[in-house]
Amino acid sequence: MSPRQECAGLRADRVSWSVSGRRILDEVSLECGPGTVTGVIGPNGSGKTTLLRVLAGLRRPTSGSVEIGNDDLHRLNARERARLVALVEQGATTDLELRVRDVIGLGRTPHGSRWRTGMDARDEVVVATAMDAADVAHLADRPWQSLSGGERQRTHLARALAQQPRILLLDEPTNHLDLQHQLDFLGRVRRLALTTVAALHDLELAAAFCDRLVVIQDGRLVASGPVAEVLTTPMIAGVYGVDAAVGAHPVHPRPHVRWNGVISAEC
């Protein structure tokens, strides 16, 4: 990556978020060191997406705060936030006939003057670098509508990188992708060495690509810490209702999960 600001640490302090009287997030705290990849795991509906949206500044927490470096995220204005945090959403689509280059160029929106309408030389350089990092340079002039799922996700990643954020947030970035593309995408993210928080579905992927894990269940933080400490048989049983054995991976220095079956007695 071209020279940029040092990536920052992210701190969420007892963040809660409610809507229509329902508590979606309940006093979640987490801390991510600069340059680390943190995985957020938990069953569907546990509040992972909401947590990411709060961390991105898209939703204001009903209590608690989010800090990036030394800045309180929600005290900043939208443009300042967008220069600090970039979010890759799940399957964001458009009907417009944009080229890949245009989509990535959107990432430059928070930079430069508010009234700017075009890209200058500096913007072009950043976009080109982002395209290389996400390996979509060869697709630059292709229409968005013609891309495959994997290519679209990488384009979104490039767009997020074009924002030159200090924190990268990914919301289930590998859903709907082939296994090969899943591994490729997450490997690429890891190599960026940018502070990253990724909501992930698949425990194996989480184990392979994250430094730390955070487990959310029913909006509450259930466990957090290094992968090996968090990914345990009791945790998987309690949160997922699945009986699994966690052992050492035969090749790589990380945990490996083997399913045994559903725990039927558990409610």
Partner 1 sequence: MRAALDRYVVVAVALLILAAVMATALGIGAVHVPVDRVLAVVARRCGLGDHGVSLLEDQIVWQLRMPRVLGAAGVGAGLAVCGAVLQSLTRNDLADPYLLGISSGASVGAVTVLVFGVSFVGLAGATAVAVAAFVGALGALFVVLVLASGRGGTLPPARTVLAGVAVGQACAAYTSFVVIARGDQSAARRVLDWTLGSVAGVRWGSSVVLAVVALVAVVGTTAVAGRLDAFAFGEDSARSLGIDVTRTRWMLMVGTALVTAVLVSYVGAIGFVGLVVPHMVRIVTGPRHRVLVPVCALVGATFLVAADTVARSVVADQEIPIGVVTGVVGAPFFAWLLRRGRAES
Partner 2 sequence: MRSRSGVLARMRTAGAAALALATLAGCGIGAPRAGGSRAAGSGYPVTVTSCGVSTTVKTRPERAVTLNQGATQVALALGLGDRLAGTAYLDGPIPAKWRTAYDKIPVLSAEYPSKERFLAAQPDFAYASYGSAFDDTAVGTQRELAGEGVPSYLSPFGCDDEAQRPKASWAAVWNEVDSVAKVFGVANRASALRRQQQESLDRLRATGAGKGLRVLWYDSGRKTPFIGAGHGGPQLIIDAVGATNAFANLPGNWADGNWEEIVAADPDVIVLADASWDTAKGKIAYLERDPVLSQLRAVRQHRFVVIPFFESTPGVALMDGAVSVSRQLRELVARR
Structure tokens at 157: 């990643």
Contact indicator for 8, 166 with CB cutoff of 8 Å:
yes
Q: Tokens 């558990």 identify what position?
A: 266
Separation between Cα atoms, residue 173 and residue 215, nearest integer Å:
17
Q: Applying CB under 8 A, which part among 101-109, 193-201, 219-227, 234-242 lies near partner 1?
A: 101-109
Pairing of strands 63-68, 71-72: antiparallel
Asked if 115 is part of the footprint of partner 1 (rule: CB under 8 A), the reply reads: yes
Q: What are the beta bridge partners of residue 19?
A: 22
Q: What are the beta bridge partners of residue 86?
A: 168
Q: How far is the CB of 60 from partner 1 (least distance, A)?
A: 10
Cα–Cα distances in Å, from 121 out to 128, 207, 208? 11, 40, 38
Asked if 102 is part of the footprint of partner 1 (rule: CB under 8 A), the reply reads: yes
Structure tokens at 84: 């600090």
How many CA atoms within 13 Å lie on the side-chain side of 196?
A: 26
Asked if 12 is part of the footprint of partner 1 (rule: CB under 8 A), the reply reads: no
Asked if 125 is part of the footprint of partner 1 (rule: CB under 8 A), the reply reads: no
Asked if 78 is part of the footprint of partner 1 (rule: CB under 8 A), the reply reads: yes
Asked if 163 is part of the footprint of partner 1 (rule: CB under 8 A), the reply reads: yes
Q: How many residues touch partner 1 (CB under 8 A)?
A: 34
Per DSSP, the residues of 13-41 read EEEEEEETTEEEEEEEEEEE-TT-EEEEE
Among 107, 173, 219, 255, binds partner 1 (CB under 8 A): 107
Q: How far is the CB of 97 from partner 1 (least distance, A)?
A: 6
How far is the first Cα of the chain from the last one, in angstroms, to the nearest whole number? 48
Looking at the Cβ atoms of 85 and 214, the one nearer to partner 1 is 85
Of residues 172-231, those binding partner 1 (CB under 8 A):
none
In sequence order, what are the residues at sequence separation of 6 or more whose Cβ sits closer than 8 angstroms to the Cβ of residue 49? 90, 171, 172, 199
User: 120 contacts which partner out of partner 1, partner 2, none, CB within 5 to 8 A by kind?
Assistant: partner 2
Asked if 152 is part of the footprint of partner 1 (rule: CB under 8 A), the reply reads: no
Residue 154 phi, psi dihedral angles, 5° rounding: -65, -35
Looking at the Cβ atoms of 49 and 109, the one nearer to partner 2 is 109
Q: What are the beta bridge partners of residue 66?
A: 12
Looking at the Cβ atoms of 36 and 155, the one nearer to partner 1 is 155
- Residue numbers at the binding site for partner 2 (CB under 8 A): 112-113, 115-121
Asked if 94 is part of the footprint of partner 1 (rule: CB under 8 A), the reply reads: yes
Asked if 99 is part of the footprint of partner 1 (rule: CB under 8 A), the reply reads: yes
Looking at the Cβ atoms of 96 and 262, the one nearer to partner 1 is 96
Q: How far is the CB of 20 from partner 1 (least distance, A)?
A: 10
- Chain contacts with partner 1 (rule: CB under 8 A): 53, 56-58, 77-83, 85-87, 89, 92-99, 102-103, 106-107, 109-110, 115-118, 163
